[in-house]
Chain A
Amino acid sequence: MARTPPAPLNFAQQLDRLEEIVRRLEAQDLDLDEALKLFEEGIERLREARERLTAAEAQVKQVLSDKAGNLKVEDFDG
């Protein structure tokens, strides 16, 4: 099996969830308890997403195959 680093969490899904939270809060048909819970989750996801966007440093790697045909991922300095 290919041995590459695990894929990061799906950013698109994170944004989708955030949109859903906002829409539900805007629909205003929740009780306060539920609304507060959603709000807190929304704030947390917002923070995570922002962190993800701002902390990232472009990474460039190269994928090679060794003699046995295994995947090898190395830093790329080109």
Chain B
Amino acid sequence: MGHSLDLFAAVSPEGAWTVTQVTRRARAVVEAGLLPLWVRGEISGFKAWQSGHWYFAVRDRSAQIRCVMFQKDNRRLPGPPQDGMQVFLFARPTVWEEKGEFRLTVVDLLSTEAGGLWQLAFEKAKAALAKDGLLDPARKRPLPPYPLRIAVVTSPDGAALQDIIAVTARRWPVAELLVLPTRVQGEGAEQEICAALALLCRVEGLDLAIIGRGGGSREDLWTFNHERVARAVAALPVPVISAVGHETDVTLCDLVADVRAPTPSAAAEAATPDRADVLAELAHLGARLARGLAGRSGRVAERLDRTFDRLTGTLERRLERHHHQLSGLAGRLDALSPLKILERGYALARDEQGRVLKRVGQFPSGLRFRLRVTDGDVAARAGES
């Protein structure tokens, strides 16, 4: 009985551990015995909670461990992993007391697959943009040939901005550059860029926008791969040139922009015409203008000359004809003059009152009348018939 009593003594209220005591002790033992370590395995049962925390298991052929990755740690990653993905986890082994569960608190997660989480997140966002037609080449707008107001969304202290200012000042100082300053990397950069883009939409009279930054690590450039940033770029009311990083870095922002430039300097080159070229074009237009008018007035003068010749020619011919007509008329008038008839030996008989006497009956016997001959009047008297 004594042994039995001992056994019973072990379950007496005084001797028993509480659940909390056990889990707390287990946790202390685990955390002391298993310092933070890298674990390799496959993701399974992944779930992202509303809180932003991720819950999943990591497993191999014969075992699995529950994992949690809190939002403060997972927000540094480009996106969530997928079930079946092979990963390395840097984690603190612990015991979750509330559930009495052995688990890993994951602080970093690397995919061992090609491109890893970055590639996965990129492809996912890209697919979403493509689904909405935002990558359609038909959406690309032509750049305005002579932009006068260009918005630049970039870091105010970056080399990218200095390059854009220098190239624009050299090629096309006609343009006004409006900088919308924003951070381009790090915590919160995504929100800042979206805010700058929203501000840009409210600027009046813009011809063009440039968004970009200089080169950096994949993590540094990641802001420009956020779907939200890409959508904000796609929604801009003016044509956009995107220049993120170097030639080899292609971001989602590049894909939705109207034009992708390999560097910020190249973006400024693509945005602007060369002033010297435009001045040469103006000179050329000026020459054509002058030639156009000279040709114009040369032809007019020629035509005027011809018209004048024709006009004066007609007049002369007309005058000549009139002249002939007139002299003919004068001859005829002359021939018709009664004096001419008298010249030929005819005489004109008129009474005292000057009336012309044309018939025998007008000459009674003894009538005194006058005869008009070519060189004067003669007094006459009618005799007996």
Q: Interface residues, chain A, CB within 8 Å of chain B? A: 2, 4, 6-8, 10-12, 15, 18-19, 21-22, 25-26, 28, 30, 32, 35-36, 39, 42-43, 46, 49-50, 52-54, 56-65, 71, 73, 76, 78
Contact = CB atoms under 8 A, between A and B. Distances in A.
Interface in B242-296: 275, 278-279, 281-282, 285-286, 288-289, 291-293, 295-296
Given A63-B151, A71-B202, A11 B292 contact: no
A33 B329 CA distance: 47
Interface string B127-151: 0000000000000000011101101
B296 A43 contact: no
B169 A58 contact: yes
A34 B161 CA distance: 49
A10 B169 CA distance: 19
Interface string B201-233: 011111000000000000000000000000000
B373 interface: no
A56 B173 CA distance: 6
Which A-B residue pairs are the 5 nearest by beta carbons? A7-B205, A25-B292, A58-B169, A58-B173, A56-B174
A28 B177 contact: no
Contacts of B161: 78
A32 B226 CA distance: 63
Contacts of A64: 181, 199
Nearest to B295: A28
Given A28-B299, A63-B178, A57 B289 contact: no
B194 interface: no
A60 B154 CA distance: 14
B177 A61 contact: yes
B180 interface: yes
Contact of B289 (A7, A8, A43, A54): A43
Given A46-B289, A61-B176, 8 more contacts: A26-B288, A42-B285, A43-B289, A46-B286, A59-B176, A62-B178, A78-B157, A78-B162
Contacts of B48: none
A32 B205 contact: no
B265 to A, nearest CB: 15
B249 to A, nearest CB: 24
A22 B177 contact: no
Contact of A18 (B175, B180, B285): B285
Nearest to A8: B148
Contact of B146 (A12, A35, A43, A59): A12
Contacts of B205: 4, 6-8
